[in-house]
Amino acid sequence: MFTRKMYQCIRFAAAACLAVAGINASAQAYPSRPIILVSPYLAGGSADAVARAIAESAAKDLGQPVVVESKPGAEGLIGATDVQNARPDGYRVLWGGAGSLMIPPALRKSPPFDPVVAFTPVAASVDFSFFLYVHPSFPAKTTKEFIAYVKANPGKVSYATGNNQGLLTMADMEKKYGLEMVRVQYKGEVGAAADLLTNRVQAIWATTSILNFAKEGKLRVLSTTLTKRSELLPDVPTLREEGIAGGEFGGGWLGIFGPAGLPKPIVQRLNTAFVKAFNSPDVQGKLRDNGLVYTPYNTPEELAQYVKAQREIYRKTATELNLVQD
């Protein structure tokens, strides 16, 4: 004879089975409509351009269009929170990373989210080329000479920051080598470059967005934070080659993320498609053209471990550099 408690247990088990069956059925039918890839970066920029190449390639495997939707602003938080608040059904995913997921929370005493908890890692990442640019008149040809000059002239060198990665990289260098410089913050690298070209500021850590000025001889490039030299500037040494400490987060990285609670079958389906996309000749070419390097975390679990480690690095660095704000 069934008791009330036994009946409730049976109902609970049945409901759980139905829920699992529903997820499995949904995953088997997935995707049945276009997928939105949210890009928290300005349309036309290198990050956005790469997102569109990845979306086009992934769509071939998924059998549905992958539409890039640009949602820039608030240091990437607008696009990131858009996906954070989306239904975990695999139809809205994020092209996000250090700039949109790691740094904004690390710089705030009351962070908008925990990047490890608020998102489901799917695939990637790609690392940005990040370079130390100086005005051609600056009396340094290497990063070591740059550090020596700044140290000998405290408070006389001004540097620009066009994003949070640039801010962290130069602030970290200041701390490690006891440098004293004047920081001038801009809304973006292109705006900062205008003052760098006229020598109003003398240096900046920046991506490839201002690389053409260097190729035209209007700026000088001293080094890169990448682990190996960039194909775009093969004559520019890495910080590691020069024996310079730092640059662990210079340039940042990007990957594909879903909202928290994304069902594992859907994660695996997306992972397969995006890993193929990242390895496709078209996307590899686009990455090279924009100074990006693909670092394969072929499983979501590998990317999840990387995200956890990055969260701790950014939290620790922001605290040590006294950059955390209310």
SS3 118: helix
Q: How far apart are CA 291 and CA 264, in angstroms?
A: 32
| The pLDDT of residue 139 | 96
Q: What is the full DSSP assignment across 44-65?
A: TSHHHHHHHHHHHHHHHHHTS-
Instruction: Establish whether domains 31-127+252-320 and 131-242 are of one fold.
Output: yes
Residue 5 pLDDT > 80: no
292, 98 in Cβ contact below 8 A?
Answer: no
Q: Give 118's pLDDT tier (boundaries 50, 70, 90).
A: very high
189, 275 in Cβ contact below 8 A?
Answer: no
What value does the mean pLDDT take over residues 30-49?
A: 89
Q: How far apart are CA 33 and CA 35, in angstroms?
A: 7
CA dihedral 55, 57, 61, 65 (to 10 degrees): 40
Digit-coded pLDDT (tens) for 51-81: 999 999 999 999 999 999 999 888 889 999 9
166, 187 in Cβ contact below 8 A?
Answer: no
Residue of higher predicted confidence among 4 and 136: 136
What value does the mean pLDDT take over residues 304-322?
A: 91
| The pLDDT of residue 26 | 54
Residue 6 pLDDT > 60: no
The residue type found at 298 is N
Phi then psi for 124, rounded to 5 degrees? 110, -165
For tokens 């890993």, name the residue: 275
CATH architecture of 131-242: 3-Layer(aba) Sandwich (3.40)
Digit-coded pLDDT (tens) for 81-102: 999 999 999 999 999 999 899 9
Percent of the chain with pLDDT over 90: 63
37, 51 in Cβ contact below 8 A?
Answer: yes
| The pLDDT of residue 2 | 47
CATH topology for the 31-127+252-320 domain:
D-Maltodextrin-Binding Protein; domain 2 (3.40.190)
- Specify the pTM: 0.82
SS3 22: helix
Look up residue 34 and give its two tokens. 């276009």
Residues forming a β-bridge with 121: 257
Domain extent listing, the chain? 31-127+252-320, 131-242
Q: How many other C-beta atoms are found inside a 10 Å radius of the C-beta of residue 228? A: 10
Q: What residues have CB less than 8 Å from 38, skipping those under 6 apart?
A: 69, 71, 79, 82, 83, 92, 93, 94, 95, 96
